[in-house]
Amino acid sequence: MEINVVEKTSDTLKVELSKGEETLLIPIVERLQLEEKVVEARYLLGHQFLDRPTLYLKTKGEKPQAVLKRVLKDLVDLYGDTLAEFDKKAEKVKA
């Protein structure tokens, strides 16, 4: 996946993702909105052929890139655990 940081200030971060990766933005934004230091978290899709999916993050009291890294790590842990659990259950099922 290609990621492009479009804008970065002390309290905002705007990141573009590859086209076709917009579904990843939904769980990321949902998790970001649960964070105490997040003032605003949203995604922008724009025109389907001309624009790239964009994540916008504004924080208060913590760097936005630090918050985003923490949330991404949490999601990796969550989905990694889900994958491990699926593997255990799938082995028990006989086809």
Structural domain for 86, as ranges: 3-92
Q: Which residues pair with 57 in a beta bridge?
A: 13, 41
Report the length, in residues, of the chain: 95
pLDDT of the residue at 87: 81
The confidence score (pLDDT) of residue 22 equals: 74
Please tell me the total count of domains within the chain.
1
Which pLDDT tens digit goes with each residue over 14-73? 999 887 667 888 999 999 999 999 999 999 887 777 778 899 999 999 999 999 999 999
CATH of the domain at 85: 3.30.1360.10
Residue 17: the pLDDT is: 87
